[in-house]
């Protein structure tokens, strides 16, 4: 059960990371360039924005993925460790949107999503939500400031009248 907790913690950290910075410039491993180039060489037509679980888990897919994953044994730490992978990169980690995958498969797909701009939607949507919340707070502060400013002016006028 410790592996499940570790996988969930990894997912939470990763999602916070891509939500807070432009993911296009993230470096997930020391060998991102190698992972990406080999991934796109073998899986050149694989859609990474919205994954089809069959392209990851079917027997024919496993035959294609297995040699790719094994290339990174000894290169990427815990390359075969279980990791949570989002199926639709515009959504968060939910039960419906998550699949279990080897870490190297996660890295390959997420590096592609980052470099190809698909994960930017997460960063932008989080920033938009924060902007809306911040705008609401600024409007409230402006209203409070206007109210209190009016009272001060009124007080100043009274003093001037005396």
Task: Kindly list the domain boundaries of the chain, sorted by start residue.
Answer: 2-121
C-alpha pair distances (Å), 140 with each of 41, 126, 133, 152, 154: 53, 21, 11, 18, 21
> Which pLDDT score, from 0 to 100, does residue 150 have?
45
Q: What is the DSSP letter of 25?
A: G
Range name among 13-17, 32-36, 42-46, 67-71 with the lowest pLDDT average: 13-17
Could you give the CA distance from residue 106 to residue 48 in angstroms, rounded to a whole number? 11
Could you give the CA distance from residue 149 to residue 136 in angstroms, rounded to a whole number? 20
Span 44-70, average pLDDT: 97
The residues, ordered by sequence, that sit 6+ positions from 121 with a Cβ below 8 Å of its Cβ are: 89, 90
Give residue-wise pLDDT tens across range 130-162: 556 655 554 554 444 444 444 444 444 444 444
The residues, ordered by sequence, that sit 6+ positions from 48 with a Cβ below 8 Å of its Cβ are: 89, 109, 112, 113, 116, 118
- Residue 101: count of CB within 10 angstroms of its CB: 22
- Cβ atoms of 120 and 90 within 8 Å: the answer is no
Span 62-79, average pLDDT: 97
* pTM of structure: 0.76
- Position of tokens 């432009």? 22
Superfamily classification of domain 2-121: yst0336 like domain (1.10.3560.10)
Cβ neighbourhood burial of 91 (10 Å; 0-12, 13-18, 19+) = middle
> Which pLDDT score, from 0 to 100, does residue 145 have?
47
The residues, ordered by sequence, that sit 6+ positions from 50 with a Cβ below 8 Å of its Cβ are: 87, 88, 89
């Amino acid at each position: 059960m410790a592996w499940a907790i570790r996988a969930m913690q990894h997912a939470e950290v990763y999602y916070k990371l891509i939500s807070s910075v432009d993911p296009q410039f993230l470096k997930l491993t020391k060998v991102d360039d190698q992972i990406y180039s080999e991934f796109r060489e073998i899986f050149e037509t694989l859609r990474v924005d919205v994954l089809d679980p069959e392209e990851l888990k079917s027997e024919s897919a496993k035959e294609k993925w297995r040699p790719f994953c094994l290339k990174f044994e000894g290169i990427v730490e815990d390359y075969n460790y279980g990791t949570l992978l989002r199926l639709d990169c515009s959504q968060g980690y939910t039960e419906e949107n998550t699949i279990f995958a080897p870490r190297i498969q996660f890295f390959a797909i997420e590096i592609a999503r980052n470099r190809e701009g698909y994960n930017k939607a997460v960063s932008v949507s989080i920033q938009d939500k924060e902007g809306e919340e911040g705008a609401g707070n600024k409007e409230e502060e402006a209203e409070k400031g206007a109210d209190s400013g009016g009272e001060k002016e009124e007080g100043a006028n009274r003093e001037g009248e005396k």
